[in-house]
């Protein structure tokens, strides 16, 4: 057997053992696998309804970068500033139907998962072994709580944003009443 093929087989066996060990723990199953499957399902269902994908991707990169720059290790483990909890509900409020509110869940999950994986990679670098802390807090893990809280906030703010848009707020076009200009003429540049 060639050396590269042998190494590939050995790596697959190691990854298989690590994955089986990781997925057999109930806390990691609840903390990361189930939210990941929910995120995948919501993404597949609602991704085609996003009307500004470049804007959403830009905000996702901003959220991930902000979380990567503000994370730190404390006595309780990895602490993240979860910027997605603020960004996605506000974008649902402002963009309305351009960003479906259920998409807040997968966007918050990915925005939390990437810094969590980076933190686990840094811990493995420091300790010399892989760190199995992703989703390890179960129901109390950020990968479980942050997307759920973000989804609830987006669901609450979505009707408020719809109400405000009907009244003329958050609109891309300025709505001007006829009695604003003297003699009823609209002097805006056309």
pLDDT in tens, 126-147: 777 766 667 766 667 788 889 9
Residue 148 lies in a domain: yes
Residue 78 lies in a domain: yes
For the chain, what is the radius of gyration of the CA atoms? 22
Residue 123 lies in a domain: yes
The DSSP secondary-structure symbol of 30 reads I
Residue 25 lies in a domain: no
Residue 14 lies in a domain: no
Range from 6-10, 29-33, 65-69, 170-174 that averages highest in pLDDT: 65-69
Residue 98 lies in a domain: yes
Residue 118 confidence (pLDDT): 83
Which of 3-12, 37-46, 107-116, 145-154 is the least confident region? 3-12
Bridge partners (DSSP) listed for residue 78: 73
pTM attached to this predicted model: 0.77
Residue 92 lies in a domain: yes
- If one counts the domains in the chain, the total is 1
What band does 22 get if pLDDT is binned at 50, 70 and 90?
low
Question: Which residue range forms the structural domain that includes residue 84?
Answer: 39-162
What band does 186 get if pLDDT is binned at 50, 70 and 90?
low
Residue 144 confidence (pLDDT): 86
Higher pLDDT, 123 or 56: 56
Alpha-carbon distance values, 45 to 48, 95, 143 (Å)? 7, 19, 20
What band does 151 get if pLDDT is binned at 50, 70 and 90?
very high
Residue 170 confidence (pLDDT): 75
Residue 156 lies in a domain: yes
- Give the residue-averaged pLDDT of 94-114: 93
């Amino acid at each position: 057997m060639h050396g590269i093929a042998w190494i590939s087989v050995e790596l697959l066996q190691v990854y298989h053992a690590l994955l089986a060990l990781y997925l057999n723990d109930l806390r990691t199953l609840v903390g990361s696998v189930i939210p990941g499957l929910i995120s995948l399902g919501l993404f597949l269902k609602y991704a085609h309804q996003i009307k500004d994908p470049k804007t959403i991707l830009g905000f996702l990169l901003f959220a991930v970068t902000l979380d990567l720059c503000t994370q730190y290790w404390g006595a309780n483990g990895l602490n993240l500033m979860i910027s997605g909890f603020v960004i996605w509900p506000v974008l649902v409020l402002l963009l309305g139907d351009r960003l479906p509110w259920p998409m807040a869940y997968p966007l918050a999950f990915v925005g939390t998962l990437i810094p969590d994986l980076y933190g686990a990679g840094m811990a493995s670098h420091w300790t010399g072994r892989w760190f199995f802390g992703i989703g390890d807090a179960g129901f109390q893990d950020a990968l479980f709580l942050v997307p759920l809280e973000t989804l609830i906030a987006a669901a609450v703010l979505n009707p408020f944003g719809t109400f405000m848009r009907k009244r003329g707020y958050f609109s891309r076009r300025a709505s001007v009443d006829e009695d604003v200009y003297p003699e009823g003429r609209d002097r805006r540049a056309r």
